[in-house]
Amino acid sequence: MSLTGKIAIVIGGARGIGRGIVLIHCSHDKKQPPNQILQVAFTYVSPSSKAHAEALVREVESLGSSAYAIQADAACLSSPEAVMSSTLTAFNVSHLDILVNNAGLGSAGTRIEEITSDEFDKIMAVNVRAFISMTQAFIPYARLGGRIVNLSPISARGGYATQSVYSASKAADEALTRVWATELGQKYNITVNAVNPGPVDTDMYRAAGEVHLARMKEQDRKTPAAPRASTEDDVAEIVAFLCEERSRWITGEVVCANGGMFYT
């Protein structure tokens, strides 16, 4: 598996699945010469994640790759262009190869009767609008053969109570994946895919609310591949493959990386 010489951006990369994606991308190129290493920029939102981001940069550098952390709120309208330009400047390049849209804002665990317009707007701004705006900002700099991977958990199709807005936002991401595969394929030679993880044992998973967490733990025990939640690496390895040249004939797909919890 090789991503030699690629320039990658992971939106939401300091913790959880995003962190796993950053590390998996870099770990495969640790023996490359300095001018051919993978260079990856990743974003984080809050000051509380700064220490995690700095530690991740050091870990990436220990693997022989190069990383750059960018504090940026994906929901902010000025962030996409700022993220792209910061990455180009940091690595002294004029092109980009890989965009992983991993920004995610979870549900407040509210039932349909309790959903507010504020909750709806906040979740959609991060989980849908940011995916669109980051992709729009990426395209002008994308090299032929580029890769876009959207993260869209099983809430998009699971029908889970208290997840109305979050589920709708992730279903939208799957729809965007198919549309972009059609729009960007022949025009830019860019493949666009989504990865559909099940429960992944991260901070966001554990903070999803008691009702949702209890349901997920019960569901985890029934997962065909193993009676557990996914690890970060379970998902990150699939994302890394979709960013490789070997995945060139896969586009517009939602790849289930959930241990068989859902089949397609």
Q: What is the pLDDT of residues 167-206, one digit of tens each?
A: 999 999 999 999 999 999 999 999 999 999 987 888 767 7
CATH code for the domain of 234: 3.40.50.720
Identify whether 140 is part of a domain. yes
Is residue 182 in a domain? yes
In a domain, 243, yes or no: yes
Average pLDDT (210-221) is 79
Q: In this structure, is residue 15 part of a structural domain?
A: yes
- Alpha-carbon dihedral sign for residues 148, 150, 151, 157: negative
DSSP 8-state assignment for residue 28? T
Quick check: is 205 catalytic?
no
The answer to whether 193 and 252 are in contact (CB under 8 A) is yes
For residues 144 and 188, the answer to whether their CB atoms sit within 8 Å is yes
* Domain membership flag for residue 104: yes
Burial of residue 43 (CB within 10 Å: 0-12, 13-18, 19+) is buried
Domain count, the chain: 1
Asked, for residue 24, whether it belongs to a domain, the answer is yes
Which residues span the domain enclosing 20? 7-257
Cα 233–236–238 angle (5° rounding)? 115
CA distance 155 to 59: 31
State pLDDT tens for residues 92-145: 999 999 999 999 998 778 999 999 999 999 999 999 999 999 999 999 999 999
Residues 166, 188, 205, 263: which is the catalytic one? 166
**What is the pLDDT averaged over residues 12-34?**
80
The answer to whether position 262 is within a domain reads no
Average pLDDT score over the chain:
91
Question: Which pair of structure tokens corresponds to residue 227?
Answer: 């009676």
For residue 2, being part of any structural domain is answered with no
